[in-house]
């Protein structure tokens, strides 16, 4: 039996990350896998970057990790520029070295889908400004090429576990640091968890997740001082992030 903590979408929120770390310490975890979007956000990103460098967790790059090191991403996003201006050279080097996808003993780890880090795997905009669960028919084309029994993804900040017809399992742990947001890609939509709590997942895996053994998934949500996090976001000029963080709600 192996116990894995799966994290995603920290978005520079060190208060939420520290609360998750405390919770992980009580779970007997053997390994931590981080699915990206680590630093991009309305906070000083250095405490999160230093923690991730210290822990050495297995980490893949998210689309908003790429934004911090690609000129076009910095040009398009005030949040990316705010974050990048506060990073040190060692943090940038670490971001540049993150892989887009990893295969780990029968487990595939990615940020969005195995092919596209900006695409949602387990959800879709519903056409009415919100989100809905993706159907199996919508999910399958994105994972047809994978032989891994367990697939881990993030990006949409919504905790969900899906078992495919062939027995493979897909787990999205939700977001540690940003429980709601708005986006206009592929169409305008809002993502809402409805609560400001930090989220991650604990997986108990037999046979290293090859599909032959049992995989038990526990989606966990953890309290932290989200009011203080929201105040920091507001003080840094990001009132939209402050609302998302303090309420888990977004207005599209």
Q: Judge whether 252 lies within some domain.
A: no
Please give the Cα distance from 11 to 40 (Å, whole number).
Answer: 5
pLDDT per residue as tens digits for the range 185-198 = 999 999 999 999 99
Reported pTM: 0.96
Residue entry with tokens 């037999």: 206
**Residue 159 structural domain:** 2-243
Helix axes 46-55, 14-25, angle to 10 degrees: 30
Task: Read off the pLDDT of each residue in 66-94 and give the average, rounded to a whole number.
Answer: 96
* pLDDT value for 252: 58
Q: Judge whether 95 lies within some domain.
A: yes
Please give the Cα distance from 230 to 96 (Å, whole number).
Answer: 29
Q: Judge whether 14 lies within some domain.
A: yes
Give the total number of structural domains in the chain.
1
pLDDT per residue as tens digits for the range 136-189 = 999 999 999 888 999 999 999 999 999 999 999 999 999 999 999 999 999 999
CA dihedral 20, 26, 30, 36 (to 10 degrees): 0
Q: Judge whether 251 lies within some domain.
A: no
Q: Judge whether 250 lies within some domain.
A: no
Lowest mean pLDDT among 71-80, 160-169, 199-208: 199-208
pLDDT exceeds 50 at position 210 = no
pLDDT exceeds 50 at position 220 = yes
Q: Judge whether 249 lies within some domain.
A: no
DSSP designation for 12: T
Neighbour order of strands in the sheet with 169-172: 101-104, 107-110, 150-152, 169-172, 160-163
Residue entry with tokens 């893949």: 60
Q: Judge whether 79 lies within some domain.
A: yes
* pLDDT value for 105: 87
Query: Which residue from 218, 222, 229, 186 is spatially nearest to 42, judged by alpha carbons?
Result: 229
DSSP designation for 135: P
pLDDT exceeds 80 at position 128 = yes
Residue 93 maps to which CATH number? 3.60.21.10
Helix axes 89-96, 46-55, angle to 10 degrees: 60
Beta strand pairing call for 150-152 and 160-163 = unpaired
pLDDT exceeds 70 at position 211 = no
pLDDT exceeds 70 at position 40 = yes
Q: Judge whether 120 lies within some domain.
A: yes
* 3-class DSSP state of 244: helix
pLDDT exceeds 70 at position 65 = yes
CB 172 within 8 Å of CB 158: yes
């Amino acid at each position: 039996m192996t116990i894995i903590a799966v994290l995603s979408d920290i978005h520079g929120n060190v208060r939420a990350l520290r609360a998750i770390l405390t919770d992980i310490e009580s779970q007997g975890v053997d390994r931590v896998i981080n699915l990206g979007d680590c630093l991009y956000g309305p906070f000083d990103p250095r405490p999160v970057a230093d923690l991730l460098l210290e822990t050495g967790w297995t980490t893949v790059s998210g689309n908003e990790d790429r934004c911090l090191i690609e000129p076009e991403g910095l040009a398009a996003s005030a949040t990316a520029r705010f974050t990048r201006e506060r990073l040190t050279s060692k943090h940038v080097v670490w971001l540049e070295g993150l892989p887009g996808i990893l295969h780990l003993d029968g487990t595939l780890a990615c940020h969005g889908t195995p092919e596209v880090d900006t695409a949602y795997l387990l959800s879709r905009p519903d056409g009415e400004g919100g989100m809905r669960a993706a159907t199996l028919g919508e999910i399958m084309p994105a994972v047809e090429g994978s032989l891994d029994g367990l697939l881990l993804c993030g990006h949409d900040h919504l905790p969900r576990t899906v078992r495919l017809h062939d027995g493979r399992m897909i787990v999205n742990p939700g977001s540690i640091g940003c429980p709601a947001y708005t986006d206009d890609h592929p169409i305008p939509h809002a993502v809402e968890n409805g609560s400001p709590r930090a989220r991650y997942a604990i997986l108990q895996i037999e046979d290293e997740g090859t599909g032959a053994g049992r995989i038990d998934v526990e989606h966990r949500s953890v309290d932290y001082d989200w009011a203080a996090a929201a105040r920091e976001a507001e003080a840094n000029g990001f009132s939209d992030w402050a609302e998302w963080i303090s309420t888990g709600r977004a207005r599209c």
